[in-house]
Amino acid sequence: MARKINWGVIGSCGIALRRTIPEGIVPAANADLVAVFDTNLAKNAETAKRFGARACGSVEELLAAGVDAVYVATPVFVHCEQATQCVKAGKHVLCEKPWTMDVPSARGLVELAKQHGVQLGVGLMIRLQSQHQEALKLISSGKLGKPVYARAQLSCWYPPMEGAWRQEPSQGGGGSLADMGVHCMDLLEMFFGPAVAVSCRIGNIVHPYRSEDGAAVILEFENGALATVDAFFCIPDEGSKNVLELYGSEGSILAKGTIGQGPQGEMTLFLRAGTGYNAQQQRDASQGVAITPAPVNTYQAEIEEFSQAILDGRESALGGGLGLRGQRVLEACYESARSGRSIRIEK
């Protein structure tokens, strides 16, 4: 196989144009952008010209343009149809999250990819952020002791906008939970292992659109730990620090600004100094060790990881199991919100 993977992009005018093409595919050492398609043909032509790619007028034309892999960055309700087309054409697929509108569709995609011998990945690039990877190493080595509690937050200001598919559940599969909460829940499962049950509440607190503009989730983990996720479309960007908190019996990792689209935030490790009970509950604010690995662009990291998995003939770290797992957790959350009950997550 060639040393580089030829990429096509379906949905070239949204996150692909803002981030994944210029920051991911173009600078990736093992990837080339060869073709793009979007239903907005005029903007698609502009994108193609800007990055030296072929502007295609249909998915079929893109699949015939010599691509090895396709990045699907369209609204959620067309993910399954488009990913299915690509897989049946023998193309590897990296699809944005959520993969589909329901678990059976996601399960079907996984089976189809196996039948056709292609890679199927999900755009959970935040797990590749370098500080998150360092935190994972610390937790896996037992540095924090037994996992106890975690919190992950991802919020932004997303006011009503005409044609915004994330604000219509029939197009986006949900609102702030489906768009941002899935990143947080995936991240916490990366750190603490699988969750077994969720309790979720959603609502429209500020914005009147049909999708939820706010969501809070409690996760119960197989190892006994608990966690909370909060994802809101109605908190100003200046008011949310997108915090990550990971607590164990031996200490904690506290961060802000690591969850999001940027390469790095602030992260500090705090470990227990003594072994006894401190009745005074005194805390030294100067304690802690900064976690500052070399920053990486997460969009470049996801394209290079997925491309290298194809070249190496191995399953990607962003592989099919993650997309299906995320769909199951998300579906359990919405069922909890509808029923008002804690819901077990399908294995």
**Residue pLDDT, tens place only, 242-285:** 999 999 999 999 999 999 998 999 999 999 876 654 544 555 65
Same domain, 119 and 16: yes
Structure confidence by residue, pLDDT tens digits, 93-129 = 999 999 999 999 999 999 999 999 999 999 999 999 9
- Give 270's DSSP letter: E
H helices of 70-177, in order, are 79-88, 103-116, 130-140, 169-172, 176
Instruction: Output the CA angle 308-310-312, nearest 5 degrees.
Output: 65
Structure confidence by residue, pLDDT tens digits, 206-232 = 999 999 999 999 999 999 999 999 999
Question: Phi/psi at 139 (nearest 5 deg)?
Answer: -70, -45
3-state secondary structure of 180: helix
Q: CATH no. for residue 52? A: 3.40.50.720
- Please, is 195 exposed, middle or buried when counting C-beta atoms within 10 Å of its C-beta (0-12, 13-18, 19+)? buried
Contacts (Cβ under 8 Å, ≥6 apart) of 159: 207
What does the radius of gyration of the chain's CA atoms come to, in whole angstroms?
Answer: 21
For residue 142, give its domain range: 126-296+328-344
Q: Is residue 163 part of a domain?
A: yes
CB atoms within 10 A of CB 340: 9
Q: Is residue 283 part of a domain?
A: yes
Sign of CA dihedral 179, 180, 185, 190: positive
Q: CATH no. for residue 150? A: 3.30.360.10
Same domain, 334 and 185: yes
Q: Is residue 34 part of a domain?
A: yes
- Residue 135 pLDDT greater than 50, yes or no: yes
Same domain, 82 and 139: no
